Structure 1
């Protein structure tokens, strides 16, 4: 018997869940796939660079795919119920997307997040009808989210545990299948590398598994951020690795190696200093003529590192990474010169180094890296 349903009302509980699944599936059918953009860099002759633009989802980020999968997973497992709230531990983008789906099916949504989360993301969650619940210590996010769900008789959706299992990694229009299908008519249709930064680890798990399922030669580079446990977990083969504080790059990096992070599907990892993520963000924003977020900067730095590696080896091919969200969410933080100075970020030298590389010079930025 489903939790929260008496014997007399189990049929009504099933009918509500069926309707909720139908609403989410209908929303997916109304939504077009996201674009795959090519960045022209003449100095990298024979190496083609692509960006899967996930900022064009209805809720503006890559997390829209994850939130849809998590809601369907919760509904089909009987965990999300009529009238009962859903609770998530999220620094912003996942919460924005989950609030969207909660409102769609008519249930309350609570996001447990660090007090330092950007005002733009808080406003975006509230515009979708979500409620924000703040903690001072990011390490308490998980426990507080579980406790809040218990207090309200709701469901803690727990993206960090369920991201890798809620998504069908074999296909069903997941992000990996979408990328490879969109690449099919390009000069180098099978990418040499896909580059991604880990938040939950769910997207890297999906991409890595899909590559192996389809028996592709593509390699997966995961670019971790400065204040995060994923890199150490991979390097040291330590699933219990931790980091003492939260990431300064919103949406990626975690103080622990999350259960959804599957290191065995990763070929190479980088540890990208935050100042390089922000410098790469600013360079890419200028090159695209539009602002991107800092996690996209992390991805772009990883892409440049891989491109240099290919160029030095005389290799040709394509590299694909993601635009995770729009920089418009960070006008008062990452894209604000006053904020950068106040936080101690001086990006000019790194920006110049990246621009020099894109114009044909050497790639002089060398973040720590590891491969198995």
Structure 2
């Protein structure tokens, strides 16, 4: 069996699976994937699906491990991964309602453990998937040069990803050849709508679809009119990482994978409602009342995460000059939400997400 030159954490997750497929398609296999034991069976099935589609057996090599443990909980990990030249770190808890201890253990300490392994095996390239929301509730335009701005955070998820990126940037400043990617809110494929992750704006869609088409009630909170909902489809994020990651001058850089011209919260809701064929009525309220109502809706199996309501008045706007320059010579660009909102809605409806 050929020794892998690429190691990826976060398989068989939403982005991880798509990125592994892209790496194999362009001939970067075999890819070694670190998998939590509880996801090993799922990872095995997904690996079989991908290798059937893109190439022969052995292109994906699975290793049971745990990023929260020293050495990734793999005995002799330095020797086992000695052939690795590039490491993609995607594994994290992606949950707006995550508690502080779990967020710290996985997102912060886990990232430090992966960084330690990357340095021990002397990788030629470390790729880290962060998030635009390391910004917290920064009031203004947050660029790729921003990070430690004294910002406050909406939740433990944001803060933990911020602290993890600080750790990556510290290693990068000390000489680790790293590239950081900050996606905005990631939704399904722009062509098919396919997703296996119903959070973020899908909570609004869930509330919409649970109501009659002739009159659907949705929250509006003070500040919503001036807030933006920065959404990008999964295929754009994967395309961008795959393309930027091959550029020599992207080492040491940060790339915000966001929509440079996102819709406002009201315009986003209008586009989504129109695609679903719903007439909406906006209910002005406070976030505290909206949270109580969201918890009450949960008793009727209408999934609206209260923590997601903080993004209805999110004060931050995102700029991505590094990304736009890096992708200027390619055909990769962010499609406007209006161009794929029909797929976004139809896949969720067909999949029973409501």
TM-score category of the 2 structures, normalised to the smaller one: 0.3 to 0.5
TM-score for the superposition, normalised by structure 1 = 0.32
- TM-score between the two structures when normalised by the length of structure 2: 0.33
